[in-house]
Amino acid sequence: MKNIAGKVVVITGASSGFGECTARHLASLGAKVVLGARRQERLADICSSIRDAGGQAAYRQTDVTRREDVQGLVDLALSEFGRLDVMINNAGLMAIAPLDADKVEEWDAMIDINIKGVLYGISAALPVFRKQNSGHFINLSSVGGIKVSAPGGVVYSGTKFAVHAISEGLRVEAGPNIRTTTLSPGAVDSELKYGSSDPAAAAAMVEFYKTAIPTQTIADTIAFAISQADNVDINDIVLRPTSQEF
């Protein structure tokens, strides 16, 4: 983990779950973390806790569906710490429901958060990485981006397939000194399982997630990807419970 200390890491969706756990873990390894999410009070508490433990952290209230918010988060990293080394596009929504339920507003929200949120993160960070001639994108996809989780997960899977496509295209276009990692979790404990307003789908998700593995597994995996030598690019990681079939 020696390649983590001193790196400046921006994390979206950092007020709970994957983002919070990863922020705490990377800070404990010496990274300088910059946290974005909509819940400002949660961000303040997390940053205060990290600083009390001897780490370095900053935060900005961030809605990833607003391009200017994501740009402001990257700008904060530059103003506070002078550079940006890792952009973790983590914010996500999993609103599981069958297509017949016609949850169009939730479809729109997943497209805006899961796809546009990643693109806005790329838009904000890529020029910085170009100027530095170094950087690392870590984009959160899902096993639902490898196999369509139907019934119920069609639109969610569509957004996560898009994350895979965007990440692979980014890897090719970004060039030899900018790394791209796509992380595809299965059932890992987080608030994602509460994203649906469809009663039957929501109940099924809670039941399914009884086999979930701890959130710390995501933090450990992200740390592994970041810690590699600068000329090593870990492109795709899939992790899930040993009992999970798909």
Least-confidence region, from 46-55, 138-147, 200-209: 200-209
Q: What is residue 225's predicted lDDT score, i.e. its pLDDT? A: 98
**Mean pLDDT value across residues 58-73:** 98
Between strands 178-185 and 32-37, the pairing is: unpaired
Q: Residue 122 is part of a domain; what is its CATH number? A: 3.40.50.720
Instruction: Show the domain range for 69.
Output: 8-232
Q: pLDDT tens for residues 79-96?
A: 999 999 999 999 999 999
Residue-wise DSSP of 57-111: EEEEE--TTSHHHHHHHHHHHHHHHS---EEEE---------GGG--HHHHHHHI
Q: What is residue 18's predicted lDDT score, i.e. its pLDDT? A: 96
**Mean pLDDT value across residues 237-243:** 94
**Residue 156 bears catalytic tag:** yes
Residue 142 one-letter amino acid: S
Give me the chain's average pLDDT, please: 95
Q: Contact at 8 Å (CB) between 186 and 143?
A: yes
- Give a yes or no: residue 242 inside a domain: no
Please give the Cα distance from 27 to 6 (Å, whole number).
9
Those residues whose C-beta lies under 8 Å from the C-beta of residue 191, and which sit 6 or more positions away, are 16, 17
Of residues 63 and 206, more confidently modeled:
63
- Give a yes or no: residue 246 inside a domain: no
- Give a yes or no: residue 2 inside a domain: no
- Please identify which of the residues 59, 120, 156, 194 carries the catalytic annotation: 156
Please name the residue ranges forming H helices in the chain. 17-28, 40-52, 67-81, 104-110, 117-132, 154-174, 199-208, 216-227
Whether the model clears a pTM of 0.75, i.e. scores above it, the answer is yes
- Give a yes or no: residue 181 inside a domain: yes
Q: What is residue 191's predicted lDDT score, i.e. its pLDDT? A: 82
- Give a yes or no: residue 88 inside a domain: yes
Residue 245 one-letter amino acid: E
Q: Contact at 8 Å (CB) between 51 and 57?
A: yes
At residue 215, does pLDDT exceed 80?
yes
At residue 1, does pLDDT exceed 80?
no
* 135 token code pair: 């950087």
∠ CA 220-224-227, rounded to 5°: 130
Q: Contact at 8 Å (CB) between 101 and 53?
A: no
**Mean pLDDT value across residues 135-154:** 93
- Give a yes or no: residue 53 inside a domain: yes
At residue 27, does pLDDT exceed 90?
yes
- % of the chain surpassing 70 pLDDT: 99
- Give a yes or no: residue 243 inside a domain: no
Going by pLDDT thresholds of 50, 70 and 90, the confidence category of residue 244 is confident
Going by pLDDT thresholds of 50, 70 and 90, the confidence category of residue 179 is very high
Q: What is residue 105's predicted lDDT score, i.e. its pLDDT? A: 96
- Give me Rg for the CA atoms of the chain: 17
User: How many domains, the chain?
Assistant: 1
